[in-house]
């Protein structure tokens, strides 16, 4: 199978998955904490099966601190986004999520000594402009709690990518994907261990939208790594996947009826996509 087709599947799975994540948080009784834990463990089991098929390798002990770092960052990102989807629209969360690449670039510059170009700086500027556009309320710039959580999630995921990059330089990518998904779930559970009964109740009455979201998320993760194994460059597949930002806004408008400030959302989505492409 061509990696171009896998990249297209990646884009669609990200966009449609965002809709199901929003739907899983729409009910008044939906618990972002329990949903985050269920999501991480379900994702872990799905990717673990994929890992067994392709062969798993044991990581070096020296990499374990970086596994923990990535786990903490992904736990923060997952929990933040589930809480964000509880209070803001899927289209808004997706646009704000694009800001994660700013954190990736900054951390890469500081810790990995990557160089910054003028085009990358222009991309960062466009992303920041899109954040302002999506957060304008009555002609004033104001970040609500949901938007703040989305940015926190984006930042956490963005920093996790840098940690991932270091790990994958010394470890098999498929094995890493199969193992790292469990760590955030364990960490979130330990943080909220007193809510065990609520979490168990959520597992017994698991929302089917959460299952669909997890399945689609696993598809986008697997297609990303398979594309790399078929010869795609990280920059290529990462750039193509950003088309999901605009597609998510369009799908959310059609299927979730998120028509409020649609013009502003489309402009912000386009600016974010262009900005991420320039940064990448």
Instruction: Supply 40's token pair.
Output: 């991480």
Confidence of residue 172 (pLDDT cuts 50, 70, 90): confident
In this structure, are strands 140-141 and 136-137 parallel, antiparallel, or unpaired?
A: antiparallel
Whether 77 shows a pLDDT value over 90: the answer reads yes
Delimit the domains of the chain by residue range: 3-279
> In the prediction, which pLDDT does 6 show?
86
Using one digit for the tens of pLDDT, what is the confidence trace for 116-145?
Answer: 678 877 887 887 788 777 766 544 555 678
Confidence of residue 240 (pLDDT cuts 50, 70, 90): confident
Confidence of residue 235 (pLDDT cuts 50, 70, 90): low
Q: What is the pTM of this model?
A: 0.86
In this prediction, residues 150-176 reach a mean pLDDT of 85
Using one digit for the tens of pLDDT, what is the confidence trace for 179-191?
Answer: 899 999 999 999 9
Whether 62 shows a pLDDT value over 80: the answer reads yes
> In the prediction, which pLDDT does 276 show?
74
For the chain, what percent of residues have pLDDT higher than 70?
A: 90
> In the prediction, which pLDDT does 178 show?
85
> In the prediction, which pLDDT does 137 show?
53
Any idea what DSSP says for residue 61?
A: G
Could you tell me where the DSSP H helices lie in 136-172?
A: 145-168
> In the prediction, which pLDDT does 113 show?
66
Query: Would you call 99 helix, strand, or coil by DSSP?
Result: coil
> In the prediction, which pLDDT does 158 show?
82
> In the prediction, which pLDDT does 138 show?
47
Task: Tell me which range, 22-31, 165-174, 198-207, is most confidently predicted by mean pLDDT.
Answer: 22-31
In this prediction, residues 220-233 reach a mean pLDDT of 76
Q: Is 97 exposed, middle or buried (0-12, 13-18, 19+ CB in 10 A)?
A: buried
> In the prediction, which pLDDT does 250 show?
87
Task: Tell me which range, 57-61, 69-73, 194-198, is most confidently predicted by mean pLDDT.
Answer: 69-73
Query: Would you call 186 helix, strand, or coil by DSSP?
Result: helix
> In the prediction, which pLDDT does 131 show?
76
List all residues 6 or more positions away from 213 whose beta carbon is below 8 Å from its beta carbon. 17, 20, 21, 24, 39
In this prediction, residues 239-265 reach a mean pLDDT of 82
């Amino acid at each position: 199978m061509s990696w171009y087709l896998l990249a297209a599947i990646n884009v669609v799975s990200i966009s449609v998955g965002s809709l199901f994540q929003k739907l899983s948080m729409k009910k008044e009784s939906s618990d972002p904490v329990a949903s985050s834990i269920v999501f991480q463990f379900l994702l872990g089991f799905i990717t673990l099966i994929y890992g067994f098929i392709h062969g798993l390798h044991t990581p070096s002990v020296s990499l374990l601190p970086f596994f923990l770092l990535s786990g903490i960052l992904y736990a923060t990102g997952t929990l933040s986004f589930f809480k964000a989807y509880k209070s803001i629209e899927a289209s808004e969360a997706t646009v704000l999520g694009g800001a994660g690449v700013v954190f990736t670039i900054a951390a890469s510059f500081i810790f990995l000594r990557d160089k910054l170009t003028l085009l990358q700086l222009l991309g960062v500027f466009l992303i920041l402009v899109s954040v302002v556009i999506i957060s304008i309320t009555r002609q004033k710039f104001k970040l609500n709690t949901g938007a703040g959580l989305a940015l926190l999630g984006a930042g956490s995921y963005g920093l996790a990518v840098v940690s991932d990059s270091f790990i994958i330089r010394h470890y098999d990518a498929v094995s890493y994907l199969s193992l790292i998904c469990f760590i955030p779930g364990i960490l979130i559970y330990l943080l909220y261990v007193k809510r065990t009964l609520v979490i168990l109740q959520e597992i017994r009455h698991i929302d089917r939208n959460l299952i669909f979201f997890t399945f689609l998320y696993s598809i986008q993760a697997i297609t990303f790594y398979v594309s790399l194994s078929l010869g795609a460059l990280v920059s290529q597949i990462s750039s193509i996947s950003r088309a999901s930002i605009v597609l998510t806004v369009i799908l959310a408008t059609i299927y979730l009826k998120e028509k409020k400030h649609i013009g502003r959302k489309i402009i912000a989505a386009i600016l974010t996509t262009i900005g991420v492409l320039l940064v990448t």
